[in-house]
Amino acid sequence: MAALPSCSPNKPCRSLLVLLAGVTVLLVGSVHLCAATLDEDIELIWGASHTYFFMDGDTETLALSLDEQQGSCFRSKGTYLYATISMDIKLVEGNSAGVVATVYTISEGPWSYHDEIDLEFLGNLTGEPITLHTNIFANGEGGREMQFYLWFDPTADYHTYTIEWNPKYIIIKVDGKAIRAFKNYQDQGVPYPTWQQQRVYGSLWDADQWATQGGAIKTDWSNAPFVAYYRNYNTTWCQPSPGVAWCGDEPRDSTHFDLDPQTMADLQWVDANYKIYDYCTDHKRFNESEFPKECYLQRAGV
């Protein structure tokens, strides 16, 4: 997939009462609406009538929903340059084919050189695995897709999804386990996000043109509204080595951000068991001489 859409609505939305009446059936007996404080850190961009805050036990939670009229989207009020960003997400239950839930970061400068770190959860038929689709853009250059199945049912409970972005690596984690690491090869001519602040977004939208089995399985709107739940949004600024003012000043020869043995082991385990697509091994897409430069550098262990 190309870059994510910039959170624009699809169609005029239904009234709030109609949507909440449909969703309340799913929530009765387990949660209650409340005056949440999560909105101190995020703001709703579109689909406000399809978006609501509630208390799930003792935890304030944001529900995004999608029907045939419209989806929903939020973004962070703050922007970040080198940070660890995490959120707990419970994905759409049941038949979610065609539906995509996201959490991602994106810069706000001209599109031609934008930066972006994507996590997209591609819905599927009931009983079929949901795909976690990841991509990284730097200086407007993307096409760095990797896809994974997860080792649990992401619709049954909340799980923590993390983007760790520092001057040496972008690391994507699930429940603290690293599933992908993209190294900074900027000194080798490979673009890397080093100077543009990025804002965090989350959305729920219809992508049945491509999301499930290449678009072969379409969204079944009789299952609408589709609902995904987000909570525990946390951001932590990158911490440099002692004596270094900020992460952007970290010396190039510093080992401060090197991958530790546990992270390396996690990456190897996921690669062997749960990775289902890697652009660096896609010989149908690239001739051997056409692979992106970072693919050769990774193979060489640089």
Which pLDDT score, from 0 to 100, does residue 35 have? Answer: 36
- Specify the range with the lowest mean pLDDT, choosing from 26-30, 116-120, 152-156: 26-30
* pLDDT of 107 strictly over 90: yes
Which pLDDT score, from 0 to 100, does residue 168 have? Answer: 98
The tokens describing 34, both together, are 């409340």
Q: pLDDT by residue (tens digit) across 128-173?
A: 999 999 999 999 999 999 999 999 999 999 999 999 999 999 999 9
Residue that the structure tokens 């979610």 belong to: 96
Distance CA 194, CA 184 (A): 9
Distance CA 143, CA 145 (A): 6
Which pLDDT score, from 0 to 100, does residue 19 have? Answer: 37
Domains in the chain, CATH or no CATH each: 38-300 (2.60.120.200)
Q: Count of H helices and E strands in the chain?
A: 3, 16
DSSP annotation of 156 reads T
Contacts of range 9-18, beta carbons closer than 8 Å, 24 or more positions apart: 9/46, 9/47, 9/70, 9/71, 10/69, 10/70, 10/71, 10/205, 10/206, 11/69, 11/70, 12/69, 12/70, 13/47, 13/49, 13/50, 13/69, 13/70, 14/49, 14/67, 14/69, 14/70, 15/49, 16/49
Residue of 94 and 20 predicted with greater confidence:
94
**Strands of the chain, DSSP E:** 32-33, 42-46, 51-56, 59-66, 72-80, 83-90, 99-107, 116-122, 131-137, 146-148, 159-165, 169-174, 177-183, 198-206, 226-237, 275-278
* pLDDT of 21 strictly over 70: no
Which pLDDT score, from 0 to 100, does residue 9 have? Answer: 43
Which pLDDT score, from 0 to 100, does residue 94 have? Answer: 96
Which pLDDT score, from 0 to 100, does residue 32 have? Answer: 39
DSSP string for residues in 183-196: E--GGGT-----S-
* pLDDT of 28 strictly over 60: no
The tokens describing 275, both together, are 């990775």
DSSP annotation of 51 reads E
Find the largest Cα–Cα distance for the chain.
Answer: 59
The tokens describing 209, both together, are 């043109």
Residue 36: band (very low, low, confident or very high) from pLDDT cuts 50, 70, 90: very low
Cα–Cα nearest to 72, from 229, 215, 214, 221: 229
Residue 40: band (very low, low, confident or very high) from pLDDT cuts 50, 70, 90: confident
Burial status of residue 36 (CB atoms within 10 A of its CB: 0-12, 13-18, 19 or more): middle
DSSP annotation of 8 reads -
Residue of 77 and 28 predicted with greater confidence:
77
Q: Please give the model's pTM, rounded to 2 decimal places.
A: 0.89
Q: pLDDT by residue (tens digit) across 54-104?
A: 988 889 999 999 999 999 999 999 999 999 999 999 999 999 999 999 999
Cα–Cα nearest to 170, from 241, 95, 91, 82: 82
Residue positions annotated with a catalytic role:
116, 120
Name 185's Cβ contacts closer than 8 Å, sequence gap at least 6. Answer: 192, 293, 294, 297, 302
Residue 7: band (very low, low, confident or very high) from pLDDT cuts 50, 70, 90: low
pLDDT (mean) for 33-59: 80
* pLDDT of 12 strictly over 50: no
- Specify whether the CB–CB gap between 241 and 167 falls below 8 A: no
Which pLDDT score, from 0 to 100, does residue 37 have? Answer: 62
Q: pLDDT by residue (tens digit) across 179-237?
A: 999 999 999 999 999 999 999 999 999 999 999 989 999 999 999 999 999 999 999 99
* pLDDT of 1 strictly over 90: no
* pLDDT of 121 strictly over 80: yes
